[in-house]
Amino acid sequence: MSDKITNVLFLCTGNSARSIMAEALMDRLGGGRFKGYSAGSHPTGQVNVHALALLQSHSFDTGFAASKSWDEFASPGAPVMDFVITVCSDAAAKTCPVWPGHPSSAHWGIPDPADAAGSEDEIRVAFQNAFDRLAKAIANFRKIPLSAMDADQLAARLADIGRRI
Residue from 9, 25, 88, 135 carrying the catalytic annotation? 88
- Asked whether the beta carbons of 7 and 82 are under 8 A apart, the reply is yes
Which secondary structure element, helix H or strand E, spans residue 123, and what is its range?
helix 120-142
Q: In whole angstroms, how far apart are CA 154 and each of 58, 61, 105, 108?
A: 30, 31, 10, 14
Q: Specify whether 96 is catalytic.
A: yes
Task: Sort 129 into a burial class: Cβ within 10 Å, 0-12 / 13-18 / 19+.
Answer: middle
Helix 120-142 to helix 151-164 angle (10° resolution) is 150
Q: Is residue 155 annotated as part of the catalytic site, yes or no?
A: no
Given the residues 66, 74, 78, 96, select the one marked as catalytic. Answer: 96
| Residues that are catalytic | 12, 88, 96
